Each structure stands twice: as C-alpha cells, then as structure tokens.
Structure 1
Amino acid sequence: MKFNNFTPFQLWLSFIRKLSSEVANPFTKNPVLPKKKKGIGEAARFIDYRRVKCVAGNGGNGMVSFLRGYGTPFGGPDGGNGGHGGHVLFEADSSTKDLYHIGNTVKARNGTIGMGKCCHGANAEHLHVKVPLNTLVKEAGSSKVLHELFRPGEIFIGARGGAGGHGNHFYLSNEVRKPMKAELGGRGEVVQYDLEMRVMATAGLVGFPNAGKSTLLRAVSRAKPKVAAYPFTTLVPHVGIVHYDDFEQVAIADIPGIIEGAHRNVGLGCSFLRHIQRCRCLFYVLDLSLGDLPDQLAALKTELQLYDEQVLDKDEEALMSKPSAIVINKSDLDPTLDEAAIASAFAPLPVFAVSAKMGRGLVPLLNFLRGQYDDYVEEQKARIAATEDDYVLKF
C-alpha cells in the first residue's frame, strides 16, 4: 500500500526526521525570540506588593443533646463537638509568578457545628494561598520581616482557625451524669500582613523615559507594554518571559522611566525605585540618540545611590551592589558606531549595542541574562542547602 509513491514507513521516517530537526537541543541554552503575533488587548498588571487581611475560620459550636431512642428513653448526653476552623496558610510555589491572584482579604471556612448522637462537626479545610518563591511576609505598615518563603512548599501560618467547641458528651463524668452545657467555637484570628516579593525578575530595565525599554521587552518576550512617542508610557512595571531552547524561562522587567529627583519622589517616585530593588541584576538602557552616554549612566546611578542612602531599608541589598550591564539602544541610528571604544569607556561593565526596533544584537544580551539566571539558581540551591539543618530542627 502506497500514498503518493511513498510507503507508510517512508512517511513515518520523514515525519520523525522533520520533528527531530525542529526539536531544540537540550544541551544548549540559546534564546528563542518570539515570532508569533501578540494578542490584542492590554497586558495583565503585574503585582509584586500586596497588603492582605487574613481571616481564619471560626470553630463550630458544641451541641447539647440527650439520646432518646426505642428501648433507651434515658440514653444520656450525646452532644457532639464542633469542627475546627480553617487556617490561612501562605505556601511558596515555584509556578506562581506574582501576587495578582491574591485579594485584599482572604478568608478560610468555618467549622461545622456538632450534632446529636455524638456526631462531631467536620473540620474546615485550610486555605492555601500560593505565593512566589522569595516572598517576604511583613507586619502591616512596618518594615519588620516575619518570615521569608524561599523554599518550595514552605508554609507560613498567616492566621489560625478557631478550635471547635465541646459538646455535652465531653463533660460526662461519674460526678456529672447529665451535663447541660456545651462550648461555643473559638473565633478565628484576623491578622493583616504586607506581602512583598524579594525577587520579581532576574533583570530590570532601568533608564530614562523613551529610552526604548518597553520596545526592548516586546522584542525579547511576548509581553505587551505600551509603546508611544511621549514620556511615561509605562506607568506600572511589566514583566516578560524570555524562552530558551532548553525550555528554561527567565523573567525580565520593564521599570517605568526614571527622571532627575526620583529619589525625592519626583515623577513616578520612590515606589518604582523599589521595583528595581526586586530585580537581581540591572540593565541600564541608554538612548544613543540623546548622546552623552556616560552622562546618562552617571545620572541614573546618582538617583539609585541617593535612593540607597535615604530610602532603602538597612536589611536590603543596595541597588549599586547589584550585577549590572550597559544596553545601548537605538544603535541602528548610527551605522558607524564604534562598539569597542564604547566598551572600553564603560569597562568593567559589559556593554551591548542593540536595536530593539530592528531586533539586532539581542542574542548576546540574552546570553548574558541567562548567565545571571544560572548564577541566581545556584545561589538559591546553596542557600537552601546551608539552612537545611535549621529548617528540619524548626519544623
């Protein structure tokens, strides 16, 4: 049997060969730039900070009941206990990327009341709230860190549910044969926390307005930040995912533009400088069309340094100590650009001349990004291994 002069075996073999040529080599780490068209509509907002009110479940009330049955008209007390209320648990999850899905109030279920014939009420299920890895749990309105969830599956009890009340059967004793009392269920805790992501992206794009940060993010990922020819088109941070042919995914963040005086809350202010704090490394995006590249870099670093001195908490990593790289955008405007001279001017920082609009020079930049991501993964593994003994003893 043949199909267009080909046997089924030949058709199967050609399909396998075509498939094998398209499957990525698992031993390489090359970036895969987006080729598909982006969907229509606005991008989902990225949330890396959330104030959450945790309401635990109340315990069920105990029951006062006496057995009345055929042949046992005075069977005695048989009131059951109420069920326990559910806890509110924050659980670190590697597949959760931000805090967008968490509402301002999270509430666990209440326990069921006790019933007659010694039927105890059901315990309510605990409410598991998934949070990204390296999420800080702070006291509401304070900078005090209560716990950091950096281990996959690690749990922090945000609010404890109330205990179920005892029924009158619980109080049966030789001295008291007909107890007429039962307990009310305990009230669940109501606690408020500030959830803050310590790391929201591997790299953050830092630059002045209209430097091409949003265009660069659209070029390397399928994120859809707004792009226009006027300042402050990006009012909230956008996070895009860069794909590699070994199926690894690396996050990169577009931070709203910084202007002179940002550390004094000028422009979009200090709240967006704090977004930069949640990136492991910084990519300074310089606009080639503005000229004076060293002055642009010096102005950006000055704002970050002043922020470190005035606003940054003492227990956080300084912005100036983060790994950095220079990205010179709009390089297509100057075909005679001397990359070697620029690299020597910004040494020892690595320099990448790219054109986000034309898609040029992106691969070396993304390879550097992957190196930073691999270093971060190794740091996390070492941190988990170093605290393994303390974690086992504590829990």
Structure 2
Amino acid sequence: MRTLVRFLSTVSESQKFIDWKRVRFIGGRGGDGCSSFRREAHVPRGGPDGGNGGSGGAIWLKACGNTRDLSSLKQPQYKGENGERGKGSNCHGRDGKDFILTVPVGTVVKDNGCFLSDMDSNKEMYCVVRGGRGGRGNASYLSNKNRAPRFFTPGSLGDEKVLELELKTIADIGLVGFPNAGKSTLLRAISNAKPKVAAYPFTTLNPHIGMVQYWDPPAQVAVADIPGLIPGAHQNKGLGHAFLRHIERCRGLLYVIDASSDDPRDHYYQLKHELEQYKVGLSRRPAAIVANKIDLLKNVLNLTLGNDCPVCAVSGMRGQNIEQLLTVIKRLAQPQLFA
C-alpha cells in the first residue's frame, strides 16, 4: 500500500542561530528583618513587632517546544527580584518573584563543564539559582529571658553561578553528509521545510527540522538537516563540534552521499570515521545510506557503497524514489512498527 504522508510546519530559517551561551545568574537578595516596637497609646510595655524580610526570587529555566534556539537570552546576566524588608506591626516583607527564562527543548546546562541538567522534554523546569533567605525581625527573638530584643538579621545573598547552556537538537533522524551533498534538497523533498539551497558549499549554517506524518500505520518523525561536515570535524575543524553535537540525540542516521562524486564509497567511510572519533558508538547508530543525485549518473547499477547498512538511491531534486526513502526513515525511527 502506498504510504500516505502529510507535511507539517517546521522551524523557519534564521541567520542568527545560537546554540551556546555563557550566562551569569544571580538569585535575588533576601529582605532584611525589621527592629520595631509597638507604640500605641494606652498599651503599656508594648513589645517588639518587627517583621521578617521576604525571600529573594529564584531563577528558573523552562524548556519550550516553540523556542528554536538560545537567542532569547539576550543579556549576559540575569538577576532574581530582591525580597522586601520587614516592617513594624509584624508585617513581613514580600518574597521576590521568581524569574522564568524559556529555552529550547534539548538544552543542556553545565557548570564549568560539569553536567547539571538535560532539559529534553517540553515544559520541563530547572532551578539554576535560589534566592537568599529573608532576615528575621526582632519580634521573632522575643523570649522569657529577653522581653525587648532590639536586634534583627539582614537578608542573605542569593546564589550566583556562571553557567554554560548548550543546545543539542532533538530529532528522530539526522541527515549527515559533506557540504553540497544535497541534504537540504532532500529535506525539502520529504517535508515542507524551506532551508536555503544553492550550488556552493556550506549553504546550510543552521540545523533545520522537518516533521513528517505517516498514516499507515500512524507515526510522526522529525528529520534534521545537520550542517555539512568536513574531514577533521571531530577535531573542531570548520564548525565541527558545533555541528556534531546536534547529531547526538538522533535515533537513526542517514548518510547522504553525492552519488555523482568521484568516490562516494570513501565519503561514506569518512563520515563514519568523523562520527566515531567525536563520540564512541555514534557511528553504530541504526543507519542507512542515501545515494543522492542519481539523476546525474548514467548507470545507477554501477554505484557501490558500504555493505554494512542499506542503500537508498534517490534524486532529491527530481523527487525520484522519495517514497522508498520515506519507508527507510520510518523503519529507522519507529522500528517497533515493523517488529
């Protein structure tokens, strides 16, 4: 039966895609306690009535599926609201409001390289810094031994941290290939994503995600166009690490090879080598080879590639064998449907 596919909306292109930020977070300061005594007429021996200070506001990160990158964090520093100081008549100070910052799903939080949190689900919350405690007013120190305490405590400072936020794109399938292999063209062919396409290397500078909905059986698959790698990417040549980290979460990989190149087989093994050198085991993810641009070949039968994973020969430009490719994608992303 012919696979029915509905194309869904995807992330639009941005020239200022930001997937790494270093930000200083400071929790709000706690409000000071108050030293006060009752002064009403006809109230002899009025006791202490100084209220406590309010707690400082915390800063939270919230993962949001509608946020694409870290560009919403425009400031190098964020500070929580301070708590109010206490007042007389046993009036406690108001707590500082918490500050909530939205980040994309897939944001990893690190402190000096040490892992703190992986925000990999929508609406997940993580508290990066706590606010300071409010100080105690003199009324809280009243006792049988001290009927007129005059001292109070100041509020404490909030936590302060300088954290690194790193975005790792979440997708089911990642399109991996060297520049100008036709990954963006393929993504256009299987979804309604509109990445920039042109006949020169490094057309794609930002990851793009296309969503494809299958109806037989029902399934939804996210396919990411990862910007082109170059030899030595695992050593951070070009924009190696910035690109490679977006591959880490993909369940399956599609090695997109320019079938019209001089040695497409060598391109495939070079790509596997770059992935394995970057992270051990990454090249062993479920994968398939997509031999693109077969419209430029005189004889597709002479095309030889790796023998350790299936090969799908297509033409993204002309839409040739795209249905076969969609079946391969679903098998990689949803293997339980074919068990």
TM-score class normalised by the smaller sequence: 0.7 to 0.9
Cα deviations by residue, 1:362-390 (Å, 9 ceiling, x for unpaired): 3332333334333599xxxxxxxxxxxxx
Q: Which residue of 1 aligns with 2:55?
A: 84
1:263 aligns with 2:223: no
SS of 1:290's equivalent in the other structure is coil
Distance 1:371 1:220 in 2: 15
Could you state the TM-score of these two structures normalised by the residue count of structure 2?
0.82
Alignment equivalent of 1:221, drawn from 168, 184, 191: 191
Letter in 1 for 2:128: G
Q: Which residue of 2 aligns with 1:366?
A: 326
Q: Which is strand-richer, 1 or 2?
A: 2
Are the equivalent residues in 1 in contact too, given 2:259–2:293 (CA < 8 A)?
Answer: yes
Question: 1:171-320, aligned counterparts within 5 Å?
Answer: 171-197=141-167, 200-245=170-215, 249-305=220-276, 307-308=277-278, 312=279, 318-320=281-283
Distance 2:184 2:92 in 1: 58
Distance 1:373 1:106, change over 3 A: farther
Q: Which residue of 1 aligns with 2:81?
A: 109
Letter in 2 for 1:171: Y
1:329 aligns with 2:272: no
SS of 1:218's equivalent in the other structure is helix
Distance 2:255 2:264 in 1: 11
SS of 2:260's equivalent in the other structure is helix
In structure 2, the gaps of 5 or more residues are none
Distance 2:132 2:237 in 1: 47
Distance 1:247 1:168 in 2: 66
Letter in 1 for 2:31: G
Cα deviations by residue, 1:53-106 (Å, 9 ceiling, x for unpaired): 222111111122222234337532211111111222345566766544445434
Between stretches 94-103 and 203-212, larger displacement belongs to 94-103
Are the equivalent residues in 2 in contact too, given 1:48–1:200 (CA < 8 A)?
Answer: no
Q: Which residue of 2 aligns with 1:145?
A: 115
SS of 1:114's equivalent in the other structure is coil
Q: Which is helix-richer, 1 or 2?
A: 1
Distance 1:227 1:241 in 2: 19
C-alpha displacement of 1:351: 1.8
Distance 1:189 1:134 in 2: 25
Distance 1:262 1:345, change over 3 A: closer
C-alpha displacement of 1:187: 0.4
Are the equivalent residues in 1 in contact too, given 2:169–2:247 (CA < 8 A)?
Answer: no
SS of 1:217's equivalent in the other structure is helix
Distance 1:134 1:180, change over 3 A: same
Distance 2:251 2:61 in 1: 23
Are the equivalent residues in 1 in contact too, given 2:56–2:133 (CA < 8 A)?
Answer: yes
Question: 1:24-39, aligned counterparts within 5 Å?
Answer: 30-33=4-7
Q: Which residue of 2 aligns with 1:23?
A: none
Cα deviations by residue, 1:167-213 (Å, 9 ceiling, x for unpaired): 11112222222222222111000112223345522222111211111
Between stretches 86-95 and 60-69, larger displacement belongs to 86-95
Distance 1:85 1:244, change over 3 A: farther
Distance 1:153 1:229 in 2: 40
Distance 2:69 2:218 in 1: 20
Distance 2:331 2:207 in 1: 23
Distance 1:79 1:247 in 2: 64
Cα deviations by residue, 1:199-239 (Å, 9 ceiling, x for unpaired): 52222211121111122222333333221221112223333
SS of 1:251's equivalent in the other structure is strand
Q: Which residue of 2 aligns with 1:170?
A: 140
SS of 2:209's equivalent in the other structure is strand
Letter in 2 for 1:31: V
C-alpha displacement of 1:282: 1.8
Distance 2:7 2:122 in 1: 29
Distance 1:364 1:284 in 2: 15
1:121 aligns with 2:81: no
Cα deviations by residue, 1:96-149 (Å, 9 ceiling, x for unpaired): 665444454343222222122111112234334455566533222x2x323444
Distance 1:146 1:370, change over 3 A: same
Distance 2:123 2:178 in 1: 39
Distance 1:266 1:152 in 2: 33
Letter in 1 for 2:22: R
